[in-house]
Structure 1
C-alpha cells in the first residue's frame, strides 16, 4: 500500500468545475444553486492508498543485468515529471506520491531544474492546497497551449522564484532567457487580431508582470510592471464582455482588476472605466455569494477617483474632503456588515502563559482564520482602503486647523481626529491578524505553534519551536498580503515595533517565497519612506539593494 496524499473531499461536479464545495449532504450548496443532482462524494480512505504489490514484485524480479548501476551520476526517473499538471489537487498529490513509489530514491538522482521550479509554482500558486489556488485559471491554459507564450512565462516566473530562494545566478539566467522567449511570443501574438483576445495571451501578460514582481532589484521594475498591467488593461478592453462567460476569463479579469486598482489608487489616477463597466455587466450574473467582491470594487473605485480629484486639485476645501471621505467610509462599512458565510472569518485567541502570549510570532493576542485566500484578500483590500480614508481625514483636519483661528470647532475636530486614529489602529491590527493565515501558521490544539515548514515562524520572537501543522504555506498567501502590509506599515499610527514586525514579515515573504518585491517594500518601511513613492517616478531612480 502506498499513501497517495490527501484527496479532495469535494463532490465530482465541484472538482471538475473547480468550485468551492461545502461538503454538505445529501447535496452540496453549489449543486443546489445550479438545480442539478449532486453526484455525491468519494470514499476518501480508498483513494488515499494504492495497492502496488504487483509493481513491487515485478521490479524485484527484473534481471540484474537490466538494472542501472548505482554509480551512475544522473539517473532518469522511471516516470518523468510532466510539464503540464493534473486538474485537481488529489490527482496531483497522487501523481507525486506515485513517482516516489515507482522510482527508487538515490542520492545522486537529478531532476530537470525547470520541472522542479514549475512544480513549486504549481503547488504554491496554482493548486494552493486546502485554501484554493490563486491562479487556478492557468491549469487549462497550460494544458491546451504547451508551446505557447503562457508556458514560457510560467517557466520564467517559476525559475525566478526558485533562483531567489536558492540565491542562484545560474537559475536566474535561465529565468531571464524564458522571460525573453515569453516576451517575444507574446509580442508576436499581440499582432494577430484573433490571438490577442485569447485567455492564453492575457495570462502570459499577467505572468510577465508577475516576473517583474519576483525579480525586483531596483526602482525601474515598477515601470515595467505598470506597463504590463496597462497592456493587460487594453487587452481586457479588446476582449469585451465575452471573456466573462468563461471561468478562466472571469478569474483573469477579477485578478487583474485588483492589481490595476492598486496601481491607480497609489498613483492617484482615475479608475479604469473598462473594469468598472465590465464589473457592472457581471455583477448580476455572478453567484450571489460572490457578488460582494464586485460591490467592494465599485465602492473602492469611488475612493480611487476621490484621491485623483484631490491630487488634481478638483477638490481643495478641507471640509469637502472630510465630508466626502466620511461618506465613502460609511459606504464601505455598511457594505461589509453582512457578508456571505464563505467570506467571513473567525478570530482565534493566542494562548497565554504567565499572562503573556506564548509566542511573539503574531502581532497582538489573536489572529484570523479565513475560508480562502480570496476572502483574506478581500478583507485586506477593504481595510487598506479605509486606512487611506482615515489618513485623508487626519490630514484634512490639520489643514482645516491651519486656516481656522477660532476655538469653537476645536472639540469636534479633535474628536474626529481621535476617531480616525482609533479606526486606523484597528484596521492595521486586523491586517496583522491575517498574516498567520496567509503565511501558513496556526496555534494547534496542543498549544504549540504550527507552520507548514520548519522555521516558518515570523516575528521578533524567533526562538519558538515550530512544528508541522495542517496549514500549508503558499506563495499566493505572501503575494496577496504584501500590499496590505505596506499600507499598514506606512500608517501614521504604526509604532516603531509594529513597523519592525511588518518589515520582518515582508523579509520572510521575500526570502522564503522568492518574491523580491517584498524585500523592496521592507526596505521602504525600514527607511521610513512614504509608500506612495513606491509607484512614483521619483522611486524609479533609487536603486534597491537587498
Structure 2
C-alpha cells in the first residue's frame, strides 16, 4: 500500500502488516507452519482493530483505517473459498464506514489522501460487481481533489467509475427506464474516450506508447508498452476494465430494450471489438510488468504490481471465454456461460492461445503469494464448474 511509504508503523499497525507479509511469504514457499503463524497475527490484528473501532479517538486515526484495509488485503493473499470473499467484503464495508466517519478533512493530509485513494479502489470494485452504486462521498471527494499531475487522472477515472456503478445499479433495480440508461451509458462511453485522449496528451505523465520489439522479454505478440509513469499501467488497466464492464452493460441494456430504444444501438460486434482491444492492451500491460515467454523464470515483479493485475487479467480472460463458448442469452440482458471445461486447451486459435497466456500469468501471480489469483485461474480453466454471466459481469 502506497500510504505506508515513509511511515513508521506502531505496534498496532505492525500486526496486520506482519500478517500480510508472512502470508505472502508462506504462500510463496508453500510453508504451512508459516501460514499458521500469519493467521495468528491476522486474528490478533482483528482483535486489536475491533478495540480501536470502539475507541472514540482511535476510530478516526489513520492507522485504524489502514489496518482495516490490510485485513482485506490478507483475505486476498490467503484466499480459500467464498468465505474469503465474504470476509473481504466485510472489511471493505468497514473501511467505507470509517472513511465516511473520518470526514472530508482527512484529505488535507498526505497520508489521508493516500489512504483514501487506496481504499476507494476496493470500494468501487465491490460496488461494480454487486451492481450497486458507489457511495456518493467517494465520487464527490475524488472530484474535489486538488490538482496533482501524478494523481488527478486517476481521481477523474474513479468519478467515471462511480457513474458506471449508478447505471448498473439502476439497470438492476429498474428505477430508471432503459432509454435513459442507454443515453447515460453512451455519454459515459464518450467521457471514457476523452479521458484516454487527455491521458495520452503531450504533457501528461500518464502517456504511454506501443513499441514493436519482438526480442523484448516484456512484449506480448512482439509488442510492448512504455509508460512515462512506471505505475501508470494500473490506472490504464482500470480504464480498460471499466470499458469492458460498460460495454457489457450497454449491450445488456440494448438486448433487454430493443426495439423500444429511440435509435438502433450498435451491433454486438461493436461492443465485442471494444472488449477485444481492451483485452489485448491488458495483456500488453501484464507483459510490461511480468514478462512474456519465459514464465518459468520471469522478470522480477513486485507483489504490489502483480496484485493490481489480477482483476484486469481475469476480466480479459472472460472476454476470451465469450469467444470460445456459446453464451445462453436471456431477454433480461444476461449471457450465461457454464464454464466446465478447459477452453484454453481446445484446438489452438488466437483466443485459446491468449486465454492460456492469461491463465499462466494468473498462476504466476498466485505463485508469488497472492492466492486470490488462483481462484480466477481455476474459474478460467473450467475447474470451478460455475455459471458466469458475461453479459453483466
Same-fold call, TM cutoff 0.5: yes
Q: 2:242 maps to which residue?
A: 385
**Distance change (3 Å), C-alpha of 1:203 and 1:167:** same
Q: 1:60 maps to which residue?
A: none
1:212, 1:350 → 2: CA distance? 38
Secondary structure (helix, strand or coil) at the match of 1:280 reads helix
Does the 8 Å CA contact 1:487/1:531 hold for their aligned counterparts? Answer: no
Does the 8 Å CA contact 2:171/2:253 hold for their aligned counterparts? Answer: no
Q: 1:420 maps to which residue?
A: 271
Q: 1:323 maps to which residue?
A: 183
1:531, 1:193 → 2: CA distance? 44
Q: 2:20 aligns with which of 122, 146, 157?
A: 157
1:247, 1:209 → 2: CA distance? 22
1:164, 1:397 → 2: CA distance? 44
Does the 8 Å CA contact 1:499/1:526 hold for their aligned counterparts? Answer: no
1:508, 1:254 → 2: CA distance? 27
2:44, 2:242 → 1: CA distance? 38
Gaps of 5+ in 1: 1-134, 353-357, 443-448, 458-467, 537-546
2:233 counterpart of 1:370: no
**Distance change (3 Å), C-alpha of 1:159 and 1:198:** same
Q: 2:318 maps to which residue?
A: 490
Q: 1:203 maps to which residue?
A: 66
Secondary structure (helix, strand or coil) at the match of 1:514 reads coil
Structure (1 or 2) with the larger CA radius of gyration: 1
**Distance change (3 Å), C-alpha of 1:301 and 1:252:** same
Secondary structure (helix, strand or coil) at the match of 1:337 reads helix
Higher relative contact order (CA 8 A, sep 6+): 2
**Distance change (3 Å), C-alpha of 1:373 and 1:272:** farther
2:112, 2:244 → 1: CA distance? 31
More helix by share: 2
TM-score, normalised relative to structure 2: 0.83
CA apart distance, 1:278: 2.0
Query: Number of residue pairs matched?
Result: 356
Does the 8 Å CA contact 1:507/1:522 hold for their aligned counterparts? Answer: yes
1:209-288 aligned at under 5 Å gives the runs 209-282=72-145, 285-288=146-149
Tell me how large the CA RMSD over aligned residues is: 2.5
**Distance change (3 Å), C-alpha of 1:388 and 1:529:** farther
Q: 2:339 maps to which residue?
A: none
CA apart distance, 1:378: 0.7
Q: 1:455 aligns with which of 290, 296, 301?
A: 296
**Distance change (3 Å), C-alpha of 1:181 and 1:333:** same
CA apart distance, 1:346: 2.2
Q: Deviation per CA, 1:434-462, whole angstroms, max 9, x where unpaired?
A: 002232x38xxxxxx7x8xx9333xxxxx
Gaps of 5+ in 2: 325-350
**Distance change (3 Å), C-alpha of 1:506 and 1:275:** same
1:167, 1:181 → 2: CA distance? 22
1:375, 1:529 → 2: CA distance? 34
1:451-530 aligned at under 5 Å gives the runs 455-457=296-298, 472-491=300-319, 492-493=322-323, 495-511=351-367, 513-527=368-382, 529=386
2:30 counterpart of 1:167: yes
1:16-35 aligned at under 5 Å gives the runs none
2:387, 2:231 → 1: CA distance? 27
2:25, 2:150 → 1: CA distance? 37
